[in-house]
Structure 1
Amino acid sequence: MMKALFIVLRLAAALAVVIAVVAQLISSMAAPDFFFFNFFGYFTIQSNLLIAVTFVLGAGFVARGGTQPHWLVVSRGATATYLATTGVVYNLLLANGPVSDYNVPWSNDILHKWIPLFAVLEWILFGDRTRIAWGRLGLFLVYPVIWLVATLLRGQGFVPYPFLNVEELGWGVVLLYCLGIAAFIAGMSALVIWLSRFRVIEPTGADTTRLDRVGVAR
């Protein structure tokens, strides 16, 4: 029963991401200034697609009854961090901002609210993972840094988020926003790594919440 729950929830979340992204893509294609690579240049789109892949892979390993390879555990932790960042940044900085005429509200909610929430809960509750070493924390920061540098250097009028608009805000303000978000990602990465030491629910349905059973991963 618990094994089936792990599989169904992960596959359902991955499917929700795909449906939401496709729906928003179809709507955005109607915009006169639509550019395919700009659409997939958003951190929201990329991070949601990345975590959808980890959901599918995670469900696959549960279905096979095998142990997840450590690279997948690290990927799950990293993408959970990115989705938590997406949810917090959107709801604090972007939710009350201007909305495109081509925005799909329900898709927007799935990608910015529900999947980030599920990603965090999935990491906290689903215990089919090994402990992540503290030395891996730097790996969590690689993708966000590459995305940020590539976005800022690209220019050409593509500003995915208002807080990255150098022309309007100036480099000083943009860098402050970037530093604040980077600090949040680093802190969230540390929390995710720390949480990897705990088990709550296993695919086998074993009681892992008692300290005399598993409790903390060694």
Structure 2
Amino acid sequence: MLTRRIFGWSRLLGAIVCLVSLTHRMLWGMGSQTLASDNFFAYLTIQSNVAFTALSLVAGVIALRRAEDPPWLTSARALVLSWTTTAGLAFSIIVWQAGLRGIPITVPWSDVVLHYVLPALAVIAWLIGPGRRTASWRVLPFVLLYPVLWGVFTIVRGRFIGWYPYYFLDPRQVSGLPEMAISCLLALSIFALVATSLVLLSRVPVRLAPWGEISPSPQPAERRRPATAGRRHATAGR
């Protein structure tokens, strides 16, 4: 199917764009005094986009070779897309909060691509892409497992090196443990909300027609009474 192949190549293109953006973000960040080379991969955004790159390569090859994604691929896409989309939403909140605190944040083009462009296009592809199966609700706890493990590791690591990737994880930049706990719970709720939305979107009956137009799922044809049945009733009434 032509549209399936188009989406397959688009997945491969998305992996390349993500890889280029990650490389630019790393080189751009190395010129900053606030980012050491050993801290670049400590960001949840970077880790989730590395996973996005690898998964997009695999998903692209599968789309070019098979008419339908296997169930495990749909689950993996739901997981990774939940992480990257939430990272983009969290980045927007951080930039907004930094502005309120009078802290300037420079956003390079690679950050825009990683936090906004790729997640938005991936959500659109999730909704209308051919060959995707219905996502299972079982992915929800696994969506939350990664940020919980990442958060615990990051807080423990920050105690030893004195550096945290996000201000709300740093005890020195928040009012205390209650504010940190509330911020973490808010972040987890966003992860859960995004994952729930993706599972629900996978159940929306939207498909692509052969030439790429979006069309609703076919409805069952209206049943018609056979003409012979009408004749029999008429004959019986005589």
* TM-score after normalising by structure 1: 0.85
Aligned residue in 1 for 2:136: 133
Identify if the C-alpha distance between structure 1 residues 133 and 27 changes in structure 2 by more than 3 Å, giving closer, same or farther.
Answer: closer
Identify if the C-alpha distance between structure 1 residues 140 and 205 changes in structure 2 by more than 3 Å, giving closer, same or farther.
Answer: farther
Q: What SS does the corresponding residue of 1:73 show, helix, strand or coil?
A: helix
Residue-pair matches, total: 211
Q: What SS does the corresponding residue of 1:114 show, helix, strand or coil?
A: helix
Measure the CA separation in 2 of the matches of 1:55 and 1:200: 22
Aligned residue in 2 for 1:216: none
Measure the CA separation in 1 of the matches of 2:83 and 2:125: 14
Instruction: Work out whether residues 67 and 131 of structure 2, in 8 Å CA contact, stay in contact via their aligned partners in 1.
Output: no
Letter in 2 for 1:42: Y
Aligned counterparts, 1:22-171, within 5 A: 22-31=23-32, 34-94=35-95, 97=98, 98=103, 105-155=108-158, 156-169=161-174, 170-171=176-177
Q: What SS does the corresponding residue of 1:40 show, helix, strand or coil?
A: helix
Q: What SS does the corresponding residue of 1:26 show, helix, strand or coil?
A: helix
Query: Relative contact order (C-alpha < 8 Å, sep 6+): which is higher?
Result: 1
Return the offset for 1:34: 4.6
Measure the CA separation in 1 of the matches of 2:78 and 2:152: 22
Q: 2:19 aligned with 1:12, yes or no?
A: no
Measure the CA separation in 2 of the matches of 1:74 and 1:61: 14
Instruction: Work out whether residues 62 and 203 of structure 1, in 8 Å CA contact, stay in contact via their aligned partners in 2.
Output: no
Measure the CA separation in 2 of the matches of 1:180 and 1:195: 22
* TM-score after normalising by structure 2: 0.78
Measure the CA separation in 1 of the matches of 2:210 and 2:63: 9
Letter in 2 for 1:197: R
Return the offset for 1:182: 0.7
Identify if the C-alpha distance between structure 1 residues 93 and 211 changes in structure 2 by more than 3 Å, giving closer, same or farther.
Answer: farther
Note the residue ranges of structure 1 that are not aligned, 5 or more in a row: 214-218
Identify if the C-alpha distance between structure 1 residues 49 and 80 changes in structure 2 by more than 3 Å, giving closer, same or farther.
Answer: same
Mean Cα deviation higher: 40-49 or 2-11: 2-11
Deviations for 1:175-211, whole angstroms, at most 9, x for unmatched residues?
1111011111112211212222235335966876224
Q: What SS does the corresponding residue of 2:135 show, helix, strand or coil?
A: coil
Aligned residue in 2 for 1:200: 206
Q: Which has the larger radius of gyration?
A: 2
Return the offset for 1:149: 1.1
Identify if the C-alpha distance between structure 1 residues 194 and 125 changes in structure 2 by more than 3 Å, giving closer, same or farther.
Answer: same
Identify if the C-alpha distance between structure 1 residues 104 and 88 changes in structure 2 by more than 3 Å, giving closer, same or farther.
Answer: closer
Note the residue ranges of structure 2 that are not aligned, 5 or more in a row: 221-238
Identify if the C-alpha distance between structure 1 residues 104 and 183 changes in structure 2 by more than 3 Å, giving closer, same or farther.
Answer: closer
Identical aligned residues as a percent: 27
Identify if the C-alpha distance between structure 1 residues 173 and 83 changes in structure 2 by more than 3 Å, giving closer, same or farther.
Answer: same
Return the offset for 1:159: 1.1
